[in-house]
Amino acid sequence: MGSSTKYIFITGGVTSSLGKGIIAASLAKLLQARGFSVTIQKFDPYLNIDPGTLNPYEHGECYVTEDGAETDLDLGHYERFLDTPTSQANNVTTGRIYNNVITKERKGEFLGKTVQVIPHITDEIKRNFFKLGEDGQFDVVITEIGGCVGDIESLPFIEAVRQAKWDLGQNNFLVIHLTLIPFLAAAKELKTKPTQHSVKQLLEAGIQPDILVCRTEYHLPQEVKKKLALFCNVQLNCVIEAMDASTIYDVPLLMKKEKLDERVMSKLKLTSKTNTDLEQWKDFLGRLKNPTQEVNIGLVGKYVSLPDAYKSIIEAFIHAGAASECKVNLTLISSEELHADSIPKKLEGLDGVVVAPGFGERGLEGKIEAVRFVRENDIPFFGICLGMQVAVIEFARNVLGLEKANSTEMDPDSPDPVIGLMEDQKNIELLGGTMRLGSYPCELKKGSKAYQAYGKAKINERHRHRYEFNNAYLKSFEESGMFASGINPDTELVEIMEIKNHPWFVGAQFHPEYKSTVLTPHPLFVRFIKATIENKKTK
């Protein structure tokens, strides 16, 4: 433990999905704007080792870090707000904690002791709490505890937080409890009882929250704040109101107005090195809220009933839209509802189309038909991961005349496997082991749309996929007008495919959305939006 590092723990009560991640990211942003170096980590109480094998309907998208960790989507918020990369160490699950402890036990590291939740599991949790603070590069480590206080599965984490207080000592430890103040329409009043119960559960576990952040749809009157302070043993000025906001990017400014950062600093005896610098952030919000034009973009995918499955893409469009002072109206379109007859109706009125990432065969033919429609009708197109592979399959079938072209993921016996596994992957059976995950280099061809977007030849992007473009077909693709504009210099794998004579037709094998942040929107998204704006004008 870096002796100078301060630790903040964020717990949640009453209900899940109150936005602990956004509050954590907002507080981190405010501290960062005052000159502190901050990182955030998320502890998830489920037993999966990581979210890599979770269905997006269960847990939203799986976010990938530079070092190839498959993590919780909250890490995406951390990066988008702070503009600093996270890693494997920033997301830990119960599964990983138990896995580590059991591995040690099997190796005999506990010397025959009975292995128990306390101290062995809690020690392992604490080791992970403190890991990021050890090398002294962070002034503050914020730890978000997933789930809800009172859940059976989060008990060991709460106990580890209780112990951490004694390990860290005075002024180095702080607990923020995020809770809900519901408004009962029939009684026309805000109710504090759920919060009282939630704090009581924390107290039973031996933790006194220092700050209460109260999610609410209405302003909290002073008497409600007083009641909360009295019943929850919290200072009145540490009862913080968190009103619903029109955009998550408002939350740092709302929390600043509520003086959340000041309360934290005084409790941790932190003295600010600089004044809060949020000018760029305010500038971004100004452009976001005062667009001068708008475009309609269709996002074609198979998990559209849960927008969180495409969280990073949706946010990347917000960043890119603001960069051009353009309102991006994103319509989610289910690929399973798309077929040749329905497409003109479903896609009419769109200025651009994105085909989203995904795994498996469901909805594939719909995606192929959508790509054909936008290719033939000169509508700007952006394919991400599977979206790029779909564009390749469509081109092979309808331009190269290879009617049964496919990916071996969907049809292992396809006579024309334009997308397939690389040789060294074919014998691996565990799903987690066959992926190309994390950051890989890519070289761009000068003069291509991708090169224009990035303005440089060498880039690094994050991957999460198993199947690759089959280079045996590259020559015939390029002769017919679709060319590889981005190639991995080490493996010669194709990273980006483009069509020459088209307003904007780019498919990327990687996931650009993972690297888009508020202050550095992703160049491919920015150029795609610009292309849709320009194309709309020429119509």
Q: Does the annotation flag 163 for ligand binding?
A: no
Catalytic residue among 319, 385, 394, 502: 385
Q: Does the annotation flag 17 for ligand binding?
A: yes
Q: Does the annotation flag 256 for ligand binding?
A: no
Q: At 425, give phi and psi (nearest 5°).
A: -100, -15
Q: Does the annotation flag 13 for ligand binding?
A: no
Q: Does the annotation flag 407 for ligand binding?
A: no
Q: Which candidate, 198, 194, 153, 134, places its Cα nearest to that of 43?
A: 153
Q: Does the annotation flag 152 for ligand binding?
A: yes
59: burial class by Cβ within 10 Å (0-12, 13-18, 19+)?
A: middle
Task: Kindly compute the dihedral angle of the four CA atoms of residues 90, 95, 98, 99, in this order, to the nearest 10 degrees.
Answer: -90
Catalytic residue among 124, 468, 498, 513: 513
Q: Does the annotation flag 440 for ligand binding?
A: no
Helix residue ranges, H only, 181-278? 193-204, 222-232, 251-257, 260-267
CA–CA distance, 6 with 174 (Å, rounded to integer): 8
CA–CA distance, 184 with 193 (Å, rounded to integer): 12
Q: Does the annotation flag 144 for ligand binding?
A: yes
Q: Does the annotation flag 479 for ligand binding?
A: no
Neighbours of 365 (CB within 10 A): 17
Q: Kindly report the CA angle at 16 between 12 and 17, in degrees rounded to 5? A: 105
Q: At 258, give phi and psi (nearest 5°).
A: -80, 0
Q: Is 511 a catalytic residue?
A: yes
Q: At 378, give phi and psi (nearest 5°).
A: 55, 40
Q: Does the annotation flag 181 for ligand binding?
A: no
Helix residue ranges, H only, 71-154? 74-82, 94-106, 122-131
CA–CA distance, 192 with 278 (Å, rounded to integer): 33
Tell me the torsion sign for CA atoms 22, 25, 31, 32.
negative
CB–CB of 293/325 below 8 Å? yes
Q: Does the annotation flag 193 for ligand binding?
A: yes
**Greatest C-alpha distance within the chain:** 76
Catalytic residue among 177, 465, 502, 511: 511
DSSP-derived letter for residue 324 is T
Q: Does the annotation flag 389 for ligand binding?
A: yes
Q: Which candidate, 517, 524, 522, 526, places its Cα nearest to that of 86?
A: 517
Q: Does the annotation flag 243 for ligand binding?
A: no
For 203-206, the CB contacts below 8 A with 24+ separation are: 203/233, 205/149, 205/155, 205/158, 205/159, 205/162, 206/159, 206/162
Q: Does the annotation flag 191 for ligand binding?
A: yes
Q: Does the annotation flag 221 for ligand binding?
A: no
Q: Does the annotation flag 57 for ligand binding?
A: yes
Residue 482's alpha-carbon distances to 208, 378, 470, in angstroms, are 62, 14, 14
Q: Which candidate, 396, 409, 414, 336, places its Cα nearest to that of 370?
A: 336
Q: Does the annotation flag 341 for ligand binding?
A: no
Q: In sequence order, what are the beta bridge partners of 64?
A: 70
CA–CA distance, 456 with 520 (Å, rounded to integer): 16
Q: Which two tokens stand for residue 459?
A: 């880039």
Per DSSP, the three-state class of 93 is: strand
Q: Is 361 a catalytic residue?
A: no
Q: Is 513 a catalytic residue?
A: yes
Task: Kindly compute the dihedral angle of the four CA atoms of residues 90, 93, 99, 100, in this order, to the nearest 10 degrees.
Answer: 30
Q: Does the annotation flag 387 for ligand binding?
A: yes
Return binding residues for UTP.
16, 191-196, 227
Binding residues for ATP: 17-22, 74, 245
Q: Residues annotated in the binding site, as ranges? A: 16-22, 57, 74, 144, 151-153, 191-196, 227, 245, 358, 386-389, 409, 466
Q: Output the known binding site for L-glutamine.
A: 57, 358, 386-389, 409, 466
Instruction: Give catalytic residue positions.
Output: 385, 511, 513
Q: Please report, in range form, the residues annotated as the binding site for CTP.
A: 16, 151-153, 191-196, 227
Which residues define the annotated binding site for Mg(2+)? 74, 144
